[in-house]
Every structure is written in C-alpha cells, then in structure tokens.
Structure 1
Amino acid sequence: MDMNLNELTVNSQMLIETYLLPWGTKLLLALLIFIVGRMVARLIARGVGKALTSAHLDPILVNFAGAVVNTALLVLVIIFALSQLGLDTTSLVALVGAAGLAVGLALKDSLAHFAAGVMLIVFRPFKLGDYVEVGGVAGSVDKISIFSTRLKTPDNKVVTVPNGNIFGNTMTNYSEESTRRIDLVVSISYGSDLLKAKHLLDDIVGSHDKVLKDPAYRIAVSELADSSVNFIVRPWVNAADYWDVRFELLETIKLRFDAEGIEIPLPQMALHINKPE
C-alpha cells in the first residue's frame, strides 16, 4: 500500500515536472503575450489615429487606418503567442498569406475602389455639398465613403458612384470657386438692328442685381452665322446664383427682344430648284 502511494506520488511529480509545469508556463507566457500585445496594438492604433487627426485627414480615413493597424498588429501578436506554445507558425503564416492573396484576387475591383477612396479623402478634390460632375454623373456630394461616393441630383435622385470610376476619370467641381461665369449665345436676324440689340443686352445684364460688377461682364458679336448674327453674353455671378440668373436672363432677353422688335431667327435653309428647259 505504501509502495503504491509512493509510486503514485512519484508519477504525479514527474507528470507535473514533465508536462504541467512546462506547458503551464508556456500557456501563461502566451496569455501574457496576447494580453500585453493586444494592449500595445490598441495604443499604437490610437497613436496612428491621433497623428492622422492632427494632419487634418478625414475621420473616415482615420478610423479605417486605425482599424487596419490594430488588426495587423493583433494578428502578429497571436502568431507570436502561438509560437510560445511550441506550435509551428510557419504554416499558419503561409495560410494567412494565401488567404490574403485569395481575398485580394477576389476583391481586386473593391480594392481598386478602396484605393481610389483613400486618394479622394486625402487629396479632397471635392467636399460634402459641392456640386460636381464625376463618373458621368452630376450632382451635389451627399456622402464620401471608402468604396463609393453618393451624389444627389438636382431632381433629388441619389446616385452612388464607385470611387474607382471617379478617380480614374475627369472630375469637374462647380463649387470649388465662389464665382462662375454664365456663357450665353444670343442670335438675332440679319435684318434686325445690331446696335440696338447690343444695347438691350447690355441693359438687361447690367441691371440684373445678381450679376457681379467685378469681374465685368462681356457682350460681343461672336459669329456671322448662316442665318443669324450671334452675340456672346458672359456675366459673372456667385456660384449659388448661377442657375437662377441664367434662367432669368434668357426669359428677360426673349421678352425684351419681342417688345423691341428684335427678331430671334429660326434655323432656315434656302432651296433653289432649277427647272430643266
């Protein structure tokens, strides 16, 4: 009985010394590495976020960069913690790399939109509320995200444009500058009084309260066309007043020309038929 008890005690001691103590130590060390590493990863991610915020980058990019840094560091911490348990992490690293490659190939278009989104947020060719023309669509910028940009058209439609379609093409920002020039072409018939028409245009544009005095507007004969004499009318206005002033000028010009006997010609063609003798 005493021999069995002694043998059991010896075996238990050997079990503890051979397996429990080494594995327990490795497990505690791995847990310590994981806990401390996770805390350090969070601190580094917060530091990156604060640095990007200080650089006045967009909050969307700041949050995303912080999340990427935190996730990447956490993966490294987990791999290092597992290596302390004696596990072969080489295959795990290869598996993570292969999975990343597979995901990258499957999401290559999304990654392209993501990269374009980062560039849009960093370089800021437009901001919320700007009226822009991008990716073949015109509208006010309603939301800028990592993968797409949402526009609201003048007729209140919401259009979502992938960022890759925006950054890889021409972008026109109509709100970047505080003023815009209205370009009108006004035609009169050859039989109408040219100087009178020019005086009327000058009076109409000059008396409009939303037309800017500086830069000065310009009215000039631009073309002697086939069936009309064409004027260019180019007033400057505040960007917010562009469409209102354009519509009002066109209406006023038509009414004043009708009242003053200035003819706006319709396109016409003279056809001569020679009869055989």
Structure 2
Amino acid sequence: MDLQNLTPEQLTSLFQTYALPLVWALVIFIIGRIVAKILTKIVGKMMVKSRVDETLVKFVQSLAYIALMAFVILAALDKLGVETTSFAAIIAAAGLAIGLSLQGTLGNLASGVMLIIFRPFSVGDFVEAGGQSGVIEEIQIFSTKMKSGDNKEIIIPNGQITGSTIINYSAKDTRRIDLVIGVGYGDDLKKVRAVLEDVLAKEERVLKDPEPTIGLLELADSSVNFAVRPWVKTGDYWPTLFTLQEEIKTRFDQEGISIPFPQQDIHVVSNTAA
C-alpha cells in the first residue's frame, strides 16, 4: 500500500483501524500494570497490619499480581481485536494440564498455606511431624526445614506434615516428666516413697504447682513399680529428667533400696525310675 497516494480520509481510516487500537492497548497495558502494582501493595499492607506471616504475604501478593496482569493483558488484546474468549480458554486448559501434572506440588503448596495460617508450630519449636522430630528452623511454602537433635537438617514436604499427626512439645509452658521406678518386693514401700519425695523436693527445677505425683503403679513380675510424675518448665524437661534419674539411683544405693532387674527362677524336677 502506497501511503503517499492515500487521501486524508483514508489515512484517518487507517489510523482509526490500526494505530488507535494499538495506542489504546498500550495505554491499557501501562496503566493496568501500574494499577496492579498499587493494588498488590495495598493487599500486602493490609495483610501486614493483620499480622499475617511474611511468607504468606509475599505469596498472596505474587498471586494477586499475576491474576491482575492476566486481566490487563486480556483487556489489551481485546482492544487490538484479538478474540480473547478462545485465548482465555487456552489459558484455562493449559492451567488445568499444569495443575494435574503438579498435583503433589500444589498439595504441598496448599499445605504450606495452611501451616502458615493455622500455626500448629512456630520457628524454634520442638515437634514431631511427618515422621520426623526436631526443632523447626524455617516454614516455607512447599516444605518445612527442621534440625534434629544430632544437628542434621531435615526437609519435609508440607503435605506430609499436614497429612499426619503433629506433636508440638514447645506449645505449652510446662511439661510433666513420667518416670517408672521399680523397687524390690522386699523393700519398705513407705521408705521408698519418702526417698522419692525428698529427691523431688530438693530438685529446684521441679514445680510446686502442679504438685508432683508419686503413686504405686503396678505389682510387676520382678518389681514393685512407682509412678513418679513431677512438672517442670518445658525448657527444663530433659536436664531435669537426666538429673532425677541419676539422683534417684544414687539415693537408693545410699538407702539400701534395690532396683531389681527382670529375672526368673527355674525349678528342675527330676523323676527317677523306681
């Protein structure tokens, strides 16, 4: 087409047919992008004011921006005369195919969002989750990172965590230590109780409220078993447990109280022929 031979009316018609839609499409894209960024920031600020986890804030902002930009692009293409209905159908079909191929990943994503929203544990908590136990170091969108007691890094998919039982040992301020102390059938039970009470009373980390429980638990095959259940602060659980067991053994040795081990008496009967 020779533009030099075109009349002003033809040039105006060409401009309205091709150039003007292109200009409008660019205006829609530029302004839409600016508006999308502003709205995304507003959503982020509202979530921060609501004290939502920073990881979830960034994730929601990313999703919001992508959704808004998809709308802006479709609007710009529509201004250019592109059939956006079929284009949107293609995007939906592609999204469905991607979603089906990434079911496990999307499941971990959804589980990560649930962990961040419902907060069954926080960073620094000692938990059992997903078949593992350790201290939580980081809660990510797809996985959770924890550190084991022997300083190993464990990364667990979030879907595995939400699909199993979660035990949070750090959720409460206090914990109860459950000890089973066995003594011999020939030992003085009142003396045993008095020694156990004295050991607990002298341990400063044992709480006075709730009071420790000492009771005869069972008459076992080889021992009389006492349940010794003191309460301590959660952070003192393991040090107090180790100290109490050592102190009880030491005091029993000093007081002449036996700690029996499993044993059997075998009686052999011999039949002699007459």
Which category describes the TM-score, using the shorter chain as reference length?
over 0.9
Which stretches of structure 1, 4 residues or longer, exceed 3 Å deviation after superposition? 7-10, 12-15
Q: Which residue of 1 aligns with 2:72?
A: 77
What secondary structure does 1:111 align onto?
Answer: helix
Q: How does 1:163-202 map to 2 (within 5 A)?
A: 163-202=158-197
RMSD: 1.6
How far apart are residue 28 of structure 1 and its match? 0.5
The whole-number CA distance in structure 2 between the counterparts of 1:83 and 1:57 is: 37
Give the aligned residue type for 1:121: I
Aligned to 2:113: 118
Q: In structure 1, give the amino acid aligned to 2:40.
A: A
Q: 1:40 & 1:128 partners in 2: Cα distance?
A: 35
State the distance in 2 between where 1:248 and 1:190 align. Answer: 26
2:37 equivalent in structure 1: 42
Residue 148 (structure 1) aligns with:
143
Q: After superposition, where does 1:124-273 map in structure 2 within 5 Å?
A: 124-273=119-268
* 1:88, distance to aligned residue in structure 2 (A): 1.4
CA-CA distance at 1:22 after TM superposition: 2.3
How far apart are 1:103 and its partner, in Å?
A: 1.1
Q: Specify the code of the residue in structure 2 equivalent to 1:89.
A: T
What residue identity is the alignment partner of 1:232?
Answer: A
Residues in 2 aligned to 1:226 and 1:273: alpha-carbon distance in whole angstroms: 20
Aligned residues: 271
Unaligned runs of at least 5 residues, structure 2: none
Amino acid at match of 1:170: T
**Cα displacement (A) at 1:274:** 3.2
Alpha-carbon distance in structure 2 between the residues aligned to 1:141 and 1:8: 70
Aligned-partner residue type, residue 111 of structure 1: L
Instruction: Quote the Cα distance in structure 2 between the aligned partners of 1:9 and 1:123.
Output: 69
What residue in structure 2 maps to residue 4 of structure 1? none
Quote the Cα distance in structure 2 between the aligned partners of 1:177 and 1:11. 84
Q: Write the distance in 2 (CA, Å) between the matches of 1:8 and 1:87.
A: 25
Query: Aligned letter for 2:91?
Result: V
Identify the residue that residue 11 of structure 1 maps to in structure 2: 6
Distance, in Å, in 2 between the alignment partners of 1:88 and 1:8 is 29
Unaligned runs of 5+ in 1: 1-6
Alpha-carbon separation, structure 2, partners of 1:36 and 1:9: 34
In the TM superposition, what whole-angstrom CA distance separates every residue of 1:38-76 from its partner, at most 9, and x where no partner exists?
Answer: 111112211211222222110100111011001111011
**Aligned-residue offset at 1:83:** 1.0
